Structure 1
Amino acid sequence: MRNDLERIKDIQEAIQKIEKYAQRGEKEFFENELIQGWILLQLQIIGEAARAISRETHHQYSNIAWRDIIDFRNLLVHEYFRVDLRIVWRIIDQEIPELKSQIQVILDS
């Protein structure tokens, strides 16, 4: 669990970095390639950390969409030409806040 806790903290930190730039809004996200790249990197980090977390922790916190997070990381890394920025923004806007809450529950327990 110790290693898992470190990876959970990595996810929390990446979420904070995403929020820092996402707060500039959707228009800025779509117009600024540096922000896009930074946020995509943080999403990769979240996926890599999720992949490194043990199966036991995945099962214990099965309300988190671990497989989807890992699969999205794989898309970002291996099939980056298929990345749709509208989907990325939807993830930032709708799914990152939920993941943030779920990660906080783990850290609080």
Structure 2
Amino acid sequence: MIDNRLRVLVWHIRDVAAEIAEFVAANSQEQVKANLFAARGLVHSLYMVADLATRLQNEHPEFVAAVSDVAWRDIRGLRNRIAHSYFELDHEVVWRAAVVEVPVLAGVLVERLDNHGRA
């Protein structure tokens, strides 16, 4: 049986990842860089995903251990970078995380959650 909190954390990551995907599909990287509030909104959404993933690491280490193909340390590092060094963020890293890494993370976690529930 899957812990309900585990399910909720993964679903929140999935939902925020979908919001990020919708945002980046509607806006170019240049548009986001040119709009301070759009850029900060995207960064905040990435923070949400990274913070939720960090909570997964802290609260559900057995699940995280079973998802070894995720760069958990890098995710925690992104969360810390956003929280403490937000004026030093590299916009290329932010964009790559939003366009490439977050959708992959969400997909992997949802798939593993489904498989975890069957085990």
TM-score (ref. length: structure 1): 0.88
**How far apart, CA to CA, are the structure 1 residues paired with 2:14 and 2:93?**
21
- 88-97 vs 77-86, which deviates more? 88-97
Q: Which residue of 2 aligns with 1:11?
A: 13
State whether residues 33 and 39 of structure 2, in contact with CA within 8 Å, keep that contact through their aligned partners in structure 1. yes
For structure 1, the 5+ residue unaligned runs are none
- How far 1:45 moved relative to its partner? 0.8
**How far apart, CA to CA, are the structure 2 residues paired with 1:105 and 1:25?**
29
Paired positions, count: 109
- How far 1:103 moved relative to its partner? 2.5
Q: Which residue of 2 aligns with 1:36?
A: 39
Q: Which residue of 2 aligns with 1:106?
A: 112
% identical aligned pairs: 24
Greater relative CO (CA pairs within 8 A, separation 6+): 2
Deviations 1:70-104 (A, max 9, x none): 11011000111221112111222221232232133
Report the aligned-residue RMSD.
1.5
State whether residues 4 and 52 of structure 1, in contact with CA within 8 Å, keep that contact through their aligned partners in structure 2. no
Alignment of 1:1-109 (within 5 A): 1-23=3-25, 24-53=27-56, 54-109=60-115
For structure 2, the 5+ residue unaligned runs are none
TM-score (ref. length: structure 2): 0.82
